[in-house]
A and B are shown apart, each in its own frame.
Chain A
Amino acid sequence: EVQLVESGGGLVQPGASLKLSCVASGFTFSDYWMSWVRQTPGKTMEWIGDIKYDGSYTNYAPSLKNRFTISRDNAKSTLYLQMSNVRSEDTATYYCITTTEGIGDYWGQGVMVTVSS
C-alpha cells in the first residue's frame, strides 16, 4: 500500500524558516517524480513544484521559486520542502504527491502550516 506521511508543520512566525518532510513507503520512491501542492484555508489548490526521480532537476511555481526549495533523499525515501521567509499567505495544508506525467497519483494526508505572529 502506498503511503506518504508528511511532517514538520505547525505554527511559525512570519519571516521564519520551516522544513517539511514526506516519508514514502509501499512503492519504489526513486522511480517517481514527486511534487508538493498546497491547499489554502479557502480550499484553493496551488502547485508548488516538483523534483525528478533522481533529484537532478526541479521545477517551481515562479511566485515561490525564491523562497521554497524541494529536495529528496532516495536512500531514506523522503521528500523535503524547505520554506524560508514565510508569509501569512503561506498558511495552508501542504501535500506531497507522486506525479506520473503530471497526474497526482497518490497524495499524503497533508500537514498544516500556520504563519502568524
Chain B
Amino acid sequence: DIVMTQSPSSLAVSAGETVTINCKSSQSLFGSVRQKNYLAWYQQKPGQSPKLLIYLASTRESGVPDRFIGSGSGTDFTLTISSVQAEDLANYYCQQYYDTPPLTFGSGTKLEIK
C-alpha cells in the first residue's frame, strides 16, 4: 500500500498569511498515460464531513476559492493557502488514488487561526 505522510500535523497562522502543507507519498503518484498525478486534497471544517478541494494534484474543484493552490509531482506535493481567512480553520488531508485499492490518506494537518 502507498503510505502518505503529511506535515506539519498542526499549525497556527494569522489571517492574511500564507500557509503551506506538505504531503509525501511512499511511491510516485504520476501516471505516464495521462501525464497526471493522482492526488487529492480535502478540507474538513469542525463538525463537518470532508469536502473535496483539489484533485489531480492541482485542479481545483468547482467553487473552491483560488487562494487554494495544489502543486507538486511524483512523491512530493503541497497545498498552499494564500491569504488565509478565518473560515479556512479546518483539518486538511491528502489522499492518493494512483494505486488502488486501497485509497490511502495522509494523517491530516490541523490549521488554526491565531
Residue ranges of A at the interface with B (Cβ–Cβ < 8 Å): 35, 37, 43-47, 49-50, 59-62, 95, 99, 101-110
Contacts and interface: CB of A to CB of B under 8 A. Distances in A.
B52 A104 contact: yes
Contacts of A105: 52
Nearest to B55: A103
Contact of B51 (A60, A103, A107): A107
Interface residues of B, number: 21
B100 A102 contact: yes
A108 B51 CA distance: 10
Closest 6 CB pairs of A and B: A102-B97, A45-B105, A59-B101, A107-B49, A47-B103, A47-B102
B93 interface: yes
Contacts of B107: 44
B42 A104 contact: yes
Contact of B50 (A35, A102, A104): A104
Contact of B104 (A47, A106, A107): A47
Given A47-B102, A102-B100, A104-B40, 8 more contacts: A45-B50, A45-B108, A49-B101, A60-B101, A62-B102, A102-B38, A104-B95, A104-B103
Nearest to B51: A107
Contacts of B102: 47, 59, 61-62
Nearest to A59: B101
Contacts of A99: 103
9 contacts: A35-B103, A44-B108, A45-B93, A45-B105, A45-B108, A50-B101, A95-B50, A103-B52, A103-B55
